[in-house]
Amino acid sequence: MKTVSQDQLRAFKENRKNRGRLLINCPDQPGIVAAVSKFLFENNANIIESSQYTTNPEGGNFFMRVEFECPGLLGKKEEMKSQFQIIADTFSMEWKIAFVHDLKKTAIFVSKELHCLRELLWEWQNGDLLTDIALVVSNHEVARDIVESMDIHFFYIPASKENRKEVEEKQLQVLKEFDVDLTILARYMQILTPSFVEAQPFKVINIHHSFLPAFVGARPYDRAYQRGVKIIGATSHYVTNDLDEGPIIEQDIMRVDHRDNIDDLKKIGRSIERSVLARAVKWHLEDRIIVHENKTIVF
């Protein structure tokens, strides 16, 4: 089976060695864009893409994402961070500079249903999901063959309510060993404990098989059928300690009607789940998301 080769990854990193992304969140006031533009100009950086949003022109919050090309970026990363900290202090910014050369490492958690995992692997195999998939973790063995056929590490760690603490300690240790930046719950049907979530703030993305806030929790398709809904959907969100209530990244829906039984709803829903999760993961990997309170700004 053809997979993303190390040569392809090296080529991507070489082509993006001078590409950076700057994300900003601060109280809105005049002069922010000018200060950021001046900073990039003085570092001989060329702006490739720039997006801004303010919640309210009078006393609101300002959000900005800038993607730029800067000759010799790898050699002056720390210097640029130090320089920008002065601007950040002036405007009371929450900010980060991401360097595209540093590919994010991801871990995928999955249970028995593999449609979301397959979609992510397909996007990765095509070169459309630019990440280093370091490992797949599952509480079932069904995904082992497809994962190992792509030379990705597979960890089978049985999980239940009874051994949840012990299991999560093992999982967190593995994530630390592989230096994982993002954990993707691709229909991983286990509730995470506060300790697991707090160890990775806004670095765990889930796919929930309903159009939240409708049908939070288990068996949403069954409950949607009983309610006689006319649309079903899926929601990708960051995981917090409140079940299925973390900041929403992406959603989508499809129409259904009285002819569709529960199995029909599940079949239709799987298609939505795959695409919604893939888009949310891509946007995170591309540094397009800023979390503000319990919402997201997606550029």
Total domains in the fold of the chain:
2
CATH of the domain at 281: 3.40.50.170
> What tokens does 253 get?
């829906």
Cβ count within 10 A of residue 65: 22
Per-residue pLDDT of the chain (299 residues; tens, 9 = 90+): 556 656 777 788 888 899 999 999 999 999 999 999 999 999 999 999 999 999 988 889 999 999 999 999 999 999 999 999 999 999 999 999 999 999 999 999 999 999 999 999 999 998 899 999 999 999 999 999 999 999 999 999 998 878 888 999 999 999 999 999 999 999 999 989 999 999 999 999 999 999 898 888 889 999 999 999 999 999 999 999 998 899 999 999 999 999 999 999 999 999 999 999 999 999 999 999 999 999 999 99
9 in a structural domain: no
The rounded distance, in Å, linking the Cα atoms of 244 and 265 is 20
Residue 34: phi, psi to the nearest 5?
-65, -40
Whether the CA torsion 111, 115, 120, 126 is positive or negative: it is positive
Cβ–Cβ < 8 Å for 110, 207 = no
Chain center to CA of 18: 23
Please state whether 179 falls in left (phi above 0), alpha (psi between -120 and 50) or beta.
Answer: left
157 in a structural domain: yes
- Model's pTM, two decimal places? 0.94
3 in a structural domain: no
Residues annotated as part of the active site: 244
Do 122 and 62 reside in the same domain of the chain?
A: no
- Residue range(s) defining the domain that contains residue 273: 105-298
Q: Give CA torsion, residues 11, 99, 274, 139, to 10 deg.
A: 100
CATH of the domain at 69: 3.30.70.260
